């Protein structure tokens, strides 16, 4: 027989095991909590969404009564005076470079505080690379000049009685350093506006395709250039590819932005440049605030009308037309 103390000890051991097991079960179960009747926490809207729907409020403070423009030093035209949210200095909308067209919504930083780098001067090599100028040999230069003279002579009317106005090719400056300065001014303006130089129309995927620009779509028919005007156009294109640009300078005006000034005498009916840029449908740009779009194709079907948008790519025509300039 088994001793009595052995059975009692076994019973105690089993009871201890049961107690430990039950205790471990009690520890693993989560405590029961009464159901709460309070509503779930409300999800807050992001600050960007709140600021987008918030109304623009102008606070009148006595501390800003003596604010003056850091560029011109004048405190006039306070409705055009912007305050930098970082340095708290004042700037007129037309005194900063590039100028501010409309009062910005939300925070605004001056060019110095936003870390905008000033455009450096362009060297000769950078200008050649920027405009993708095709270099020609010294032996070819006299031949090309002779060909240009022959074409100009051929463009002169043979019958003086029938006076028809024809396009004249531009005459570039003879001084190479002067031409570099002219091209450098254009490169500076394009770089400031974050644009690429392009002397042709650009067809970008997602916008108008090349097949959309056809003469048969034009309402009333497309104007056809004469043979002489076509030769003038091709001559000017060849000169531009060689880096012989029109005698023009792109300058910055505090009231009108980038404008163009003649750097030499230019005759009437002189061809300067074609208007270039990205081609898009007019219906896609009805609410665009770009200030330099130009009509390319006025189609019979309005949905096929095209416009040139020189906001990313363009040439000096972007600054010549004058429609991008604004003044009171």
Tokens 């920027």 correspond to 130
What gap in Å lies between CA 224 and CA 246, rounded to an integer? 24
pLDDT digits (tens, 9 = 90+) for 41-92: 677 777 767 766 665 555 555 566 678 888 888 877 777 888 888 888 888 8
Extract long-range pairs of 132-141: CB within 8 Å, 24+ residues apart: 132/197, 133/241, 133/242, 133/243, 134/241, 134/242, 136/242
Token duo for residue 312: 């990313």
What gap in Å lies between CA 179 and CA 173, rounded to an integer? 6
Give residue 113's pLDDT.
Answer: 79
| Cα atoms in the Cβ-side hemisphere of radius 13 Å centred on 139 | 0
Give residue 193's pLDDT.
Answer: 86
Give residue 254's pLDDT.
Answer: 65
What gap in Å lies between CA 99 and CA 325, rounded to an integer? 11
Question: Strand, helix or coil at 299?
Answer: strand
Better-scored residue on pLDDT, 94 or 195:
195
Give residue 123's pLDDT.
Answer: 74
Q: Are 214 and 304 in contact (CB under 8 A)?
A: no
Better-scored residue on pLDDT, 99 or 58:
99
What gap in Å lies between CA 203 and CA 209, rounded to an integer? 6
- Sign of torsion, CA 289 292 296 298? positive
CA distances, 233 to each of 168, 169, 192 (Å):
9, 7, 29
Domains of the chain and CATH, by start:
73-110 (3.30.40.10), 169-319 (2.170.270.10)
pLDDT digits (tens, 9 = 90+) for 189-207: 999 888 999 999 999 999 9
Residue 258's H or E segment, with its range, is strand 257-262
pLDDT digits (tens, 9 = 90+) for 203-228: 999 999 999 999 888 888 778 888 99
Token duo for residue 239: 């000169």
CA distances, 50 to each of 44, 55, 57, 103 (Å):
10, 10, 14, 20
Better-scored residue on pLDDT, 58 or 231:
231
Token duo for residue 60: 């009148």
Helix runs in the chain, H state only: 4-28, 47-53, 124-130, 140-155, 176-192, 227-241, 317-320
What gap in Å lies between CA 207 and CA 211, rounded to an integer? 12
pLDDT band at 327 (very low <50, low <70, confident <90, very high): very low
């Amino acid at each position: 027989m088994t001793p009595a103390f052995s059975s009692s000890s076994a019973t105690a051991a089993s009871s201890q095991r049961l107690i430990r097991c039950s205790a471990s079960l009690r520890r693993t179960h989560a405590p029961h909590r009464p159901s709460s009747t309070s509503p779930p926490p409300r999800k807050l809207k992001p600050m960007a969404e709140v600021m987008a729907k918030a109304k623009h409020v102008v606070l009148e403070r006595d501390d800003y009564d003596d604010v003056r423009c850091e560029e011109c030093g004048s405190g006039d035209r306070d409705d055009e005076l912007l305050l930098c949210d970082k340095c708290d200095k004042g700037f007129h909308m037309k005194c900063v470079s590039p100028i501010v067209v409309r009062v910005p919504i939300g925070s605004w930083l001056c060019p110095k505080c936003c870390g905008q780098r000033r455009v450096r001067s362009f060297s000769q090599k950078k200008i050649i690379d920027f405009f993708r100028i095709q270099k020609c040999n010294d032996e070819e230069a006299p031949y090309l000049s002779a060909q240009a003279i022959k074409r100009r002579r051929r463009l002169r009317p043979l019958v003086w009685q029938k006076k028809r106005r024809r396009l004249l090719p531009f005459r570039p400056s003879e001084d190479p350093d002067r031409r570099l300065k002219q091209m450098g001014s254009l490169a500076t303006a394009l770089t400031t506006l974050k644009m690429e130089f392009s002397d042709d129309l650009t067809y970008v995927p997602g916008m108008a395709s090349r097949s959309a620009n056809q003469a048969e779509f034009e309402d009333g028919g497309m104007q056809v250039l004469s043979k002489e005007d076509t030769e003038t156009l091709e001559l000017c294109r060849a000169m531009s590819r060689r880096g012989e640009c029109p005698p023009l300078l792109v300058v910055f005006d505090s009231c009108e932005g980038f404008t163009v000034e003649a750097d030499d005498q230019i005759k009437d009916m002189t061809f300067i440049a074609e208007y270039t840029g990205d081609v898009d449908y007019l219906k896609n740009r009805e609410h665009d605030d770009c200030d330099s779009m130009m009509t390319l194709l006025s189609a019979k079907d309005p949905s096929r009308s095209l416009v040139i948008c020189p906001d990313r790519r363009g040439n000096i025509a972007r600054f010549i037309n004058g429609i991008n300039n604004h003044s009171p």
